[in-house]
Structure formats: structure tokens, C-alpha cells
Structure 1
């Protein structure tokens, strides 16, 4: 009887160990490079299948690199059809502008010289009602007119008292129109719109250019309470002049910080973390290099993934997943040509052998626990 009980106890322990091992290896699912999760009851599998149906998975190869370049070039080519036009630009007079007006052969109608007088101080100012007062010509409309249009009106009035008047008009102080440059520039401020066409790029240069914390990729451009995203990077790197703008009164140019221009490198790398994208861009190879590369002993070289959320969902697909097979030298060239975008997530999985080792390390506490199973003793010995 005692021998029978001993055999039954030994058989029970072996069965328990085998059952626990099978349960851990087959009944559990593992997140690569992460941890074990509980037994799949069918709902988790259904959720995973649903999640995978919402992403598009592509392998990073020469065909994909060529396709991405073609899409970028096609988009840039379409945008180049609408360049900024500055030819024929004429300044429009506004309230507060100061004009210098001279009449040939009639010095009495010109500003007196001497006494360190300035044209900006003693010039003819556009009044709040939009008119200018001049000798023999009171309340001449000036606001919302070009210098040529105002000159024609003034000549018409002076012709009533002066035979064929010849006049010379200049804007000596531009005060009616201004634009604002804010954010990460060296000298943010208010800049006047003058008789020289002022573009978005000109205004940024007048503000001293972008500082070291500026986002070189995009700029917020506001006109009439409508915000546009200007792709500054396309202007500088690809010569896309359609990204420039001819500025108008009350336009606002805001340069964002580079904080949001980051990618995240996670998984089995030497030092996981976030990396900022500078003005020259960031490739997948550079990102992996900046975090110290893959862990050679544990990382899966075929498990380098880039997760990218789409701005607009198309056919139910809201994200793209790109996989790099990094076991060959050619893959390194492809990684250098694959450009990352802001908020991309680069994830490196763990190699199968490393996952097996981690599995074993998870089983060790279970194996050791069998040593703590109470031993049944009897008068005749151990069962």
C-alpha cells in the first residue's frame, strides 16, 4: 500500500510539472521583448485580428523607397504650379502713412528746408478718415489707393490753380500695415509692409532667422483667422516656392518649437528613448545609431518595425507599419534612405532564442516551487 502511494505521488508531481510547462509555453502569449500575458480565451485573438485589419504592413525594400520618393516628388511638383507672384506689386496707402509731396517750380508748396526738419515728422499724414490735406487740395482721398492713383487725384485738384503741375510723391513712413513674427525666431516682433514686396521668408529673415529650438519643418501662417501649415522644409530642401506667401496687413507667422518633432525608438535597443528631427531630417539608420544600435545578443534583426499613424483614415486603415530585414548589408542602405516622420515609433523585437531564454527564466521559479511541496512521511519511510 505504501509503495503504491509513493508511486502515485511521484506520478502526480511529474504530471503537475509537465502541465505547468505546457501551460506556460502554449497557453500563454508573449509580447516580443516585453512580458507574458494571460491565457487567450479567444477574445484577445479577435481583438488582435481587428487591430491588424486597421493597419497596412509593408516591407522596407528598394520598391518601397522608390514609391515613397515618387509620391513626395509628385506632391512637390503639383505645389510648384502656384508660385508667389510679386511682379506688378504696388503698395496700398493706409491710415497713418506719411507722404512727402513736392511740386516742381513751386517751392512754396514743398516742405521748408533747414532746422533739421524731417519728412517723416513734417510730411503729410493720411488722416483717420483716409484723406490728406494739401495746399489748394483739401481732403484728397488717399487710403486704399496706390501712389499712382493718389497722384492722379492730386494733379487733378492742383490743375485748377496751377498750369500742368508736376508732382513728386514718396511714402516716407510706413505706418498703416504690419505683420507679426512670433515664436522661435531670434528677434520676434512687428514688421512693416512697405513698397517693397514682403514675403513670408523675407519676414523670417528680418526677424533674424530661426533659432536652435525652432521647428524647421512647418510654420503656422494665419490670415483672416484662418491658419495654414506652411511646409518650410519643402521650401529650403526642395525649392518649393509655393510654400512662400506674399504678406498682407495683420498676417501672423508663428514658428513652433521642435519639441513635437520627435520619433520614439523602443524595444531591444541599447538605449531606448526619443530623438528630435532636425532641419535636415532623420533616417531610420540614424535613429537606430543614435540609440546605440540593436542589442547584438538578443535583438531580432528581422524585427525592426516603424509604426506611423495616418493623418486621415482611408478604407478603415489608420496606420502604416514598415518592417526592415536588417540582417544584410543592403538593409542598412535602405534604412538610410527611409526617412522618418514626426511621432513615428521605431520598435525592435527580441530574437526567438532570447525569447526562449526569457521563457526559461520565467519557468525557473515554477520549478523551484516544487521543492517546497510538502513531503508525506509515514512510519515506513518517505512516500
Structure 2
């Protein structure tokens, strides 16, 4: 009976080891080594650059609104029907789309190259060109289709619109309700397209100094992919066969018990 008890324990331990594996804290904990990082005088910053397919809302204003009108796209009133209310007009602001050549067709000024320029650079260019016609013009610019996508081992994967024009990797993961316990935190993939060329970049968020990475701030249309760790991959492989393994192990224990009992 002593040998039977030892055998049963050995098989049980084998099953536990086979079905589960321990994760190290260094694979799970974020911002490791943060206490040893010297505070920076100036934080890492990022300003988005215009790229093809961006939708831009550009509004020009001046002291005299009529002078600025030729430099703005027309707005259209669209009927809006509400069953609980009367029919009301709704103004729709027209947007500029950056074409494949990286240009927009701007009233009065014509074709303007904006792709590759930062928001500040585009504003400066417009202000300088419009200043020829208007004294002290005010130009407002906003990217209307800024979005990022988060995929893989996160709790809420999806594509998320960004209201501001700057978002960090941590903010994007927070929008996706953080990584699951099965997500690889030390090799997060960021897919970025610049001028039609895609780049594939890795970020390790378990190390606190990742905030200095050029991919700490995301660009419009970035894709963030969190790979599954070894436990998830192994679990996917044995998942369908777990019941079979347990059944076979139970049968082996029963057979061994009978053999030992009958040989006494």
C-alpha cells in the first residue's frame, strides 16, 4: 500500500505540473526598476504628423468673419428627423482629406503638401500663406479620424477613436481594459505605417524605461498587438485533451490498484 500511495501522489503531481505552470513576477509586473530611474527635466513628447487618408478639420477666422469666409469650406444644413421633436436643420462641417500624394486642396491657396508635417508645421504654413490676404488670421486644425487598434491578449480588443491628438501606449492598453494574465508584457508589437511603409516595433512595458521609447506615444492608425505567453499557447494545445488525459490517468491508477491488490 505504501508503494500505491506514492504512485498515486506521483501521478497527481505530474498532472498538476502538466496542466499548470508558475509565472514569474518579472513577466507580469509593470514598470520594474522605476525607483532607479532619474527623473527627467523634460518628459518625452510626441506630435503627430499628417499622412494620407487623414481627415482634417481646418477653420480660418479673423476679426471680420466675412474676410475669412473664402478660406473655409462651405457648411451644409442637413435635415434631421426626430419622432419626438420637429424637423431641425443640422450644420455639417466639410473636411479636408489628405490624398495619396499627401496634399489637400485648400480654398484660394490651392494644393498644399501636408503629409509628413506636424500639426504645428501645417498651422504655421497656413498662417503664413493666409497672412498675405488677411491680417493676423487664426487657424484651427484637428485630425478627425485619429484612431488606434488593440489586438491580442487584452480584455477588450478593438479599434478606438482618440479625441485628443496624443495618446500613450499605456492609455491605449487601459482603453482595452489592460492585458489578460496570458499577455506577453515584454514584447508588445506596435505596427506603424509612415508614407506607405509599415514598420514592426517591440516595446517592453515590464521595464520602467520604456517611457523613453519612440513608441511610447502612438501615432494615428497604429496597431498594438499583445502576443499570448507560453502558458496560453500550452493551454490551447492541451485544452481539448485535458479530459482524455485525466480519464487515462484515473484508469491507470485503477488498474495499478487492482494489480497490486490481486498480487498480494
TM-score range for the pair, normalised by the shorter chain length: 0.5 to 0.7
Q: 1:83 to 1:223 in 2, by over 3 A?
A: farther
Q: Structure 1 CA distance, aligned partners of 2:156 and 2:162?
A: 17
2:192 pairs with 1:218? no
2:32 pairs with 1:76? yes
**Structure 1: 5+ residue runs without aligned partners?**
1-29, 36-67, 70-74, 263-272, 274-361, 369-383
How far the C-alpha of 1:90 sits from its partner, in A, is 1.8
How far the C-alpha of 1:168 sits from its partner, in A, is 1.7
Q: 1:220 to 1:137 in 2, by over 3 A?
A: same
Q: Structure 2 CA distance, aligned partners of 1:185 and 1:169?
A: 36
**Structure 2: 5+ residue runs without aligned partners?**
9-23, 26-30, 78-89, 192-198, 236-245, 247-259
2:179 pairs with 1:205? no
109, 129, 135: which one aligns with 1:157: 129
2:212 pairs with 1:256? no
What's the CA shift string for 1:239-262, capped at 9, x where partnerless? x46378322453422253763599
RMSD between aligned residues: 4.7
Corresponding residue of 1:230 = 204
Corresponding residue of 1:98 = 56
8 A Cα contact 2:190 2:223, kept in partner: yes
Does 1 or 2 have the higher relative contact order (CA < 8 Å, sep 6+)? Answer: 2
State TM-score, norm by structure 1: 0.39
Q: What SS does the aligned partner of 2:160 have? A: strand
108, 114, 119: which one aligns with 2:69: 108
2:46 pairs with 1:89? yes
Q: 1:139 to 1:87 in 2, by over 3 A?
A: same
Q: Structure 2 CA distance, aligned partners of 1:197 and 1:80?
A: 27
Farther-moved stretch of structure 1 (249-258 vs 147-156): 249-258
How far the C-alpha of 1:88 sits from its partner, in A, is 3.9
How far the C-alpha of 1:166 sits from its partner, in A, is 0.8
Corresponding residue of 2:144 = 173
Report the structure number with the largest CA radius of gyration.
1
How far the C-alpha of 1:142 sits from its partner, in A, is 0.9
How far the C-alpha of 1:216 sits from its partner, in A, is 5.8
Q: Structure 2 CA distance, aligned partners of 1:129 and 1:198?
A: 26
How many aligned positions are there? 193
State TM-score, norm by structure 2: 0.54
Corresponding residue of 1:60 = none
Q: Structure 2 CA distance, aligned partners of 1:108 and 1:255?
A: 51
Q: Structure 2 CA distance, aligned partners of 1:34 and 1:142?
A: 73
Q: 1:125 to 1:165 in 2, by over 3 A?
A: farther
8 A Cα contact 1:220 1:253, kept in partner: no
What's the CA shift string for 1:129-160, capped at 9, x where partnerless? 11122222111111111122112222332234
